[in-house]
Amino acid sequence: LQRVQGGLPGSLGFASIDPDQAFNTAASFVANTNWQSYYGEQAMGHVVQTGGLAVQNFVSAAVGIAVAVALVRGFARSRTGELGNFWSDLVRGTVRILLPISVVGAVALVACGAIQNFSGIHGVGQFLGGSQQWNGGAVASQEAIKELGTNGGGYFNANSAHPFENPNGLSNLLEIFLILVIPFALTRTFGRMVGSLKQGYAILATMGVIWLGFTALMMWTEFAHHGPAFDIAGGAMEGKETRFGVGGSSIFAVATTLTSTGAVNSFHSSFTGFGGGITMLGMQLGEIAPGGTGSGLYGMLIMAIIAVFIAGLMVGRTPEYLGKKIGTREIKL
């Protein structure tokens, strides 16, 4: 799609993407990495954005859910090698979970002021006079799955700091909710599938404590704003949007880095030194609190297996989790 963009309808006059750039972007979105090295509003037309990038936002997230469900089935089942059907799980995750929530999320974002159209490039008046050239797009629908699927690639270069993607404080809270809802909710899915809701709640509590701890530390360090420059600005506002403020930017930063979403509504490099360290630590934890869509659950389960194994060795008994013995073979795997 990227290589033939110049000949596609709705290309907005943009040329086809160079081979190395097209491969980079395709690999990034297929792998749920969503790392971008281009200006979305100056490079990608409507067809590539919706038929290419948005589709991969759905499919790559559904793959994470399918992997998590397969691992949970391994815990729940015994005397069988059957872990389900990948294609069935992929379709179920897309059609029954991601699509319905995304539709509701997109409508809510439009109500908040996000754009959703297929208009061409047109002039937009500026507050202090003059005009800029901007293109429209199916932004709200892509923004919804961008956050819900813990993807991260923005329609515009400014990502979720752009007013067309994230217009105000209410839309900002909605996007934070979309980022967190599936990773946290999958813990109950785990409890239901293994026949013990307490196990699911234990994982939920662990994820929640880590997330709340990170959020509290981030809010504290960003609101402290020690130094004359911060005092004059009324807070550590460098790199942050005034419509979100320190609080909205801090919560978003923690949510996106702990889930490996990649969406941003502020420049993390402009956070205070301690705040920037918190975002980096969130990434280094490896998507577990609550982690990505599916990847958070299976990442936390791997941590649980290792913890049970080490604890078993310390007390001199055979490590066991959910009735399954954890031995050398399992740890090697």
Tell me the per-residue pLDDT of 49-60, one tens digit each, with 9 for 90 and over: 999 999 999 999
Residue 200 contacts residue 188 (beta carbons within 8 Å): yes
Least confident of 45-54, 149-158, 225-234: 225-234
Max Cα–Cα distance, the chain, nearest Å:
75
pLDDT digits (tens, 9 = 90+) for 309-328: 999 989 988 898 888 889 88
Report pLDDT digits (tens) over 28-84.
Answer: 999 998 888 898 888 999 999 999 999 999 999 999 999 999 999 998 988 888 899
* pLDDT per residue as tens digits for the range 163-204: 999 999 999 999 999 999 999 999 999 999 999 999 999 999
Q: Give the pLDDT mean for 263-278.
A: 92
Q: Are strands 121-125 and 131-135 parallel, antiparallel or unpaired?
A: antiparallel
Rounded distance between C-alpha atoms, residue 60 and residue 66, angstroms = 10
Phi, psi of 32, rounded to the nearest 5 degrees: 65, 20
- The pLDDT confidence band at residue 234, using thresholds 50, 70 and 90, is low
Please give the model's pTM, rounded to 2 decimal places.
Answer: 0.92
pLDDT of residue 333: 83
Q: pLDDT (tens digit, 9 = 90+) per residue, 203-221?
A: 999 999 999 999 999 999 9
Cross-strand pairs, 7 = none
* Per-residue pLDDT at 88: 96
**Which residues partner with 123 through β-bridges?**
133
Mean pLDDT over 229-258 rounds to 86
* pLDDT given at position 291: 92
- Kindly report, residue by residue over 86-129, the tens digit of the pLDDT: 999 999 999 999 999 999 999 999 999 999 999 888 888 888 88
- Best-predicted range by mean pLDDT among 10-19, 169-178, 266-275? 169-178
Dump pLDDT digits (tens) for 125-136.
888 888 888 888
